[in-house]
Structure 1
Amino acid sequence: MTAHPPLPPFTRESAIEKVRSAEDGWNSRDPQKVSRVYTKDSRWRNRSEWVTGRDEIVDFLTRKWSRELDYRLIKELWAFDGNLIAVRFAYESHDTEGNWYRSFGNENWEFEEDGLLAVRHASINDVPIKESERKYHWPLGRRPDDHPGLSQLGF
């Protein structure tokens, strides 16, 4: 068994580290890389879609990032307890027609003792924005450490 630290039970510091690691992974927009931090039989609810297992996670993320272009995400710790973490997040992306959106959401995560994510529930709302209203301007990939987080942006 390969551990994926930080491991539960989480402290505030290790929960923040886990959240930032998840943000960095999703900002890579690499479905294979992202899928490896989930258990082989991980269960998701993402909006109204149910996903089970790494293969379905890869398929889901491949579809997602083919529609949500120039995707940039910020996650922030909301709460934690033992092997559970709750986050809030917002991401910006545009569709193939150039329409921009900011998507706001909350996720509830449940981890196994090896640090892999076993259960993920995500509720997400999309808000159309003008390109001039965008707040996430870093180069694609990891959010720079000095870029404001959700609270600093007032989200």
Structure 2
Amino acid sequence: MSTQDPAHRPRPPFPPFTAETALQKVRAAEDAWNSRDPERVALGYTEDSEWRNRDVFLSGRAEIVDFLRGKWEYELDYRLRKELWAFTDNRIAVRFEYEWRNDEDRWFRSYGNENWEFDEHGLMRRRYASINDFPIAPDERRIAI
């Protein structure tokens, strides 16, 4: 794996995970997603990464980038918080919530769980997300932009 090309750079920490390194992975994912930069987010995944996001199934970085572009065109002012739920050798489970508004200025809080599986280079090869949306009033927001 080349360390020069960002698309092929290993992403420490590597499995097997400890409580400390699993939490580092969670924070790195949270930071990347809060950047709302689809290319940056996609670099944390293997070239052939498999996703389930709600009822959408994706395969590979190109599909991930396209999906995230559309997501953040619709989910405006997106802001995410992730919490480590559990971990094992090369897997991490998180719970999360994020807030966003649509183009009609209606706010939502989305709740969910993700199951992650990593390769030996610290790249996520599988991401399975279950997500539910809950409408909120602007004054009910908890996550600052």
Provide the TM-score with structure 2 as the length reference.
0.94
| Unmatched 5+ stretches in structure 1 | 139-155
Secondary structure class of the residue paired with 2:86: strand
User: Which residue type is aligned with residue 95 of structure 1?
Assistant: N
Match of 2:57 among 50, 53, 67: 50
Q: Once the two structures are superposed, what CA deviation does each residue of 1:7-45 show, in whole Å capped at 9, x if it has no partner? A: 000000000000000000000000001001100000000
Kindly state the Cα deviation for residue 121 of structure 1 after the two structures are TM-superposed: 0.2
Kindly state the Cα deviation for residue 137 of structure 1 after the two structures are TM-superposed: 1.6
1:15 and 2:22 are equivalent in the alignment: yes
Q: Once the two structures are superposed, what CA deviation does each residue of 1:90-142 show, in whole Å capped at 9, x if it has no partner? A: 0000000000000000000000000000000000000000001001124xxxx
1:3 and 2:10 are equivalent in the alignment: yes
| Separation in 2, partners of 1:136, 1:110 | 27
Kindly state the Cα deviation for residue 3 of structure 1 after the two structures are TM-superposed: 1.6
Match of 1:113 in 2: 120
| Separation in 2, partners of 1:51, 1:19 | 21
1:1-155 correspondence to structure 2 within 5 Å: 1=1, 2-138=9-145
Secondary structure class of the residue paired with 1:18: helix
| Unmatched 5+ stretches in structure 2 | 2-8
Match of 1:153 in 2: none
User: Which residue type is aligned with residue 67 of structure 2?
Assistant: F
Q: Percent identity?
A: 61
| Separation in 1, partners of 2:77, 2:59 | 26
Which 4+ stretches in 1 moved above 6 angstroms?
none
- Name which of structure 1's ranges 1-10 and 64-73 shifts more when overlaid on structure 2: 1-10
Secondary structure class of the residue paired with 2:111: strand
CA RMSD of superposed structures (Å) = 0.5
Q: How many residues are treated as equivalent by the alignment?
A: 138
